[in-house]
Chain A
Amino acid sequence: MSEARYRPGERVRVMKAYPLGHVRTPYYIRGHTGTIERVCGAFPNPEELAQMRDGLPPQPLYRVRFLQKDVWPDYRGSAKDVLEVEIFQHWLEPA
């Protein structure tokens, strides 16, 4: 299993990448900065599973918390509203 590189509370930026194939990182969140909310565990890499390989070693998965107002330029709700997205480690870099 790959080592979990981030801990809850740490700031991370989602990579701005546009690979072909099956990825679990939604387009709208790429390039945004958030905070690690929790480590969800480690799971076989879905990008590899989608290509009929085993996806091993398991990759750490995080729940990352973003501020809604940071994600949507025209957001009209509370400035404290958050959005949480589960993102695999290889999509994150330190912010």
Chain B
Amino acid sequence: MRERSHHDMGGLPAGPVDRHEHDYAEWERRVDAMCVLVGNKKLVSVDQRRRNIEQLPPEVYDQTAYYEKWVLSLGESLIQRGLITTEELARKMAEVQNRVRG
């Protein structure tokens, strides 16, 4: 068993931190809003979402942006809570993909 979880990287050698501010994309705002909503309704805690982010496979963790991690963990949390099923999520994702492809 590994002692240090992949996300727990405090103190490891790393490059400088990019401190530039940037505008949020519309999808990022939506993900943020959904997380606040399910939090306010006491459906999904921030701790449950953090746990799901921390359990992303290391290569996924490294390759995804901040809000990509949020949306992955939100979907997982909603499934764990029984609010949506994996089948419903898959169906919706296929639907959106088809819409985007036109």
Query: Beta-carbon contacts of B9-36 to A below 8 Å, as 1s and 0s?
Result: 0110000000000000000000000000
**Would you call A94 an interface residue if the criterion is a C-beta within 8 Å of the partner chain's C-beta atoms?**
no
A52, B81: Cβ atoms closer than 8 Å? yes
Stretch from B42-50, B59-67, B91-99 forming part of the interface with A: B42-50
How many interface residues does chain A have, given as a range?
A: 10 to 19
> A18-B1, A28-B10, A46-B50 known; 14 other A-B pairs, CB under 8 Å?
A18-B4, A21-B51, A22-B51, A26-B8, A26-B10, A28-B11, A46-B47, A49-B45, A49-B47, A49-B48, A50-B45, A50-B48, A55-B47, A72-B11
- In the complex formed, the residue of B with least CB distance to A22 is B51
CB distance from B32 to the nearest CB of A (A): 20
CA A93 to CA B4, docked complex, whole Å: 21
Query: Beta-carbon contacts of A1-40 to B below 8 Å, as 1s and 0s?
Result: 0000000000000000010011000111000000000000
Give the A-B pair count, Cβ closer than 8 A. 40
CB distance from A71 to the nearest CB of B (A): 8
Give the secondary structure class of B's interface: loop
Give the secondary structure class of A's interface: loop
Q: Which residues of B contact A55 (CB under 8 A)?
A: 47
CA A18 to CA B2, docked complex, whole Å: 8
Query: Beta-carbon contacts of B66-87 to A below 8 Å, as 1s and 0s?
Result: 0000000000000011000000
Count of chain B residues near A, Cβ 8 A: 15
B51, A50: Cβ atoms closer than 8 Å? yes
Within A40-95, the residues touching B (CB, 8 Å) are 46-47, 49-52, 55, 71-72
CB distance from A50 to the nearest CB of B (A): 4
**Would you call B3 an interface residue if the criterion is a C-beta within 8 Å of the partner chain's C-beta atoms?**
yes
Q: Which residues of B contact A18 (CB under 8 A)?
A: 1, 3-4
Q: Which residues of A contact B1 (CB under 8 A)?
A: 18
CB distance from B70 to the nearest CB of A (A): 15
